Amino acid sequence: MWLIVGLGNPGDEYERTRHNIGFGCVNQLAKRHGLSFDGKRANARIAEGNIAGQRVALARPQTFMNLSGQAVSGLRAWYKINPATELLVIYDDVDLPFGKLRLRQRGSAGTHNGMRSIVGQLGNQEFPRLRVGIGQPPPGRDIVGYVLGRFSKEEETELPNIYDATADAIEVLLREGLTAAMNRYNG
């Protein structure tokens, strides 16, 4: 069983913001495989099913970004998964160019508050993650306003391609393993 968590903030006001790119990624994966987020568990919306021959639970925490670890910790306990081998967290990263993907087996939370919460709740940073680049804010723009801001029109046109690429990468991870997905998608 794989738990695949897309990070974001609940509510219509955050729906198309940069900080919610993780929600968009798991939404696309669910859509591609005919799964729907009709379940609720551990303060998260859940879609369960099979992808690439693996049983999966896709999750969108409803705790707001800074408390994402509460939902992830609860889901880890519910599904009885080993985070090092059965958890994937998808989130936005300002340190990557827009649309760039970066899969890692483990690592620090960096400046991302959602990841800090997850690392704190799980007690370690030994779990796979997929960072999706949203790029740096323009000079003079504060980072909080940038990540909570909406995508530009040009970025909006690229989002379907980014969501498809993340779905492709996750399918490779599930079918062939993390190393194969890293080799193929960490450009």
- What does the alpha-carbon distance between residue 83 and residue 145 come to, in Å, rounded to a whole number? 32
Distances (CA, A) of 22 to 32, 60, 139, 176: 16, 8, 25, 22
Backbone φ/ψ region at 80: left (φ over 0), alpha (ψ -120 to 50), beta: left
- What does the alpha-carbon distance between residue 125 and residue 80 come to, in Å, rounded to a whole number? 18
The residues annotated as belonging to the active site are 19
Q: How far apart are the first and last CA of the chain?
A: 28
Q: Measured in whole angstroms, how far is the alpha carbon of residue 37 from the centre of its chain? A: 15
Scan for tokens 């995508």, then name that residue: 151
Distances (CA, A) of 123 to 61, 88, 103, 106, 180: 18, 16, 21, 13, 27
